[in-house]
Amino acid sequence: MWSEAEQRELEEILKKYPTKRSALLPALYLAQREKNWLDDEDMEAVAEALDVPITDVHAVVGFYTLFRREPTGKHMIHVCTDLPCALRGAEEFYLRLTERLGLPPEGGTTEDGLFTLEAVPCLAACDKAPMCQIDLQYYENLTDETIDTVLAQLRAEAQQETKA
């Protein structure tokens, strides 16, 4: 399951810790990188590479919100709607975005499979609300227009990729 490059990356990661198990979260990120979620095979590969029981890998994956067990859109959009951001209009910003993406208020994946939208708790950017992370990169002081521009760009990129 690991490519040669990933194998090398994993070896570099392992050097940082006195136990293999400490590399569990970094290894799971590596396994999740390509398709955005973890299937049974990915988790088995991690368990094997680190000598961690597979049940433990399952337990850890289930504990942390940034690991996903189901297919998602190509890009993950996390909009913060926690209290400090909500005081600056983040809930309305989020709801308008769900509408423009044709999603229900609880978010989800767009029909074209490009975006998965989620409302999340504080992301340590409360002074720059409304804000979001797309694939864990920060986008701050957003308006409907600026977020639409970013999403349009990602759509265009995806189209380029399918053509190529």
Partner 1 sequence: MANDYLKEHILLRHKDNPNIGDIDEYLSDGGYEGLKKALEEMQPAEVIEAVKASGLRGRGGAGFPTGVKWSFIPKGAKDVYIVVNADESEPGTFKDRELMEYNPHLVIEGAAIAAYAVGARTIYIYGRGEFKGPFVTLQKAVDQAYERGMLGKNIMGSDYSLDLHLHLGAGAYICGEETALLNSLEGYRGYPRSRPPFPAVEGLYAKPTVINNVETMANVPGIIRHGVEWYRQFGTEKSAGTKVFSLSGHVNRPGNYELPLGVPIRYLIEELGGGVPNGKRVKAVLPAGESSLMVPEDKLDTPMDYESMGAIGSMLGSASFIVMDETVDIVWAAEKMIHFFKHESCGKCSPCREGTYWLSNVYHRIRSGEGTMEDIELLPKIIEQMSGNTFCPLGEFATSPVKASLLHFRHEYEQYIKK
DSSP-derived 3-state class of residue 117: strand
How many whole angstroms separate alpha carbon 52 and alpha carbon 37?
19
How many whole angstroms separate alpha carbon 123 and alpha carbon 81?
10
H/E element holding 41? helix 40-50
For residue 123, the tally of other CB atoms under 10 A from its CB is 19
| Contact partner at residue 52 from partner 1, ligand FES, none, CB < 5 to 8 Å by partner kind | partner 1
| Contact partner at residue 119 from partner 1, ligand FES, none, CB < 5 to 8 Å by partner kind | none
| Contact partner at residue 66 from ligand FES, partner 1, none, CB < 5 to 8 Å by partner kind | partner 1
Paired sense of beta strands 108-109 and 115-120, if any:
antiparallel
CA distances from 41 to 6, 8, 57 (A): 15, 19, 12
- Specify the residue, 137 or 160, whose C-beta has the smaller distance to partner 1: 137
If one asks whether residue 95 binds partner 1 (CB under 8 A), the answer comes out as: no
Query: Which residues ranging from 36 to 65 are in contact with partner 1 (CB under 8 A)?
Result: 50, 52, 56, 59-60, 63-65
If one asks whether residue 76 binds partner 1 (CB under 8 A), the answer comes out as: no
If one asks whether residue 127 binds partner 1 (CB under 8 A), the answer comes out as: yes
If one asks whether residue 24 binds partner 1 (CB under 8 A), the answer comes out as: yes
Residue ranges that bind partner 1, judged by CB under 8 A = 16-19, 21-26, 28-29, 50, 52, 56, 59-60, 63-67, 78, 82-84, 86-88, 121-129, 133, 136-138
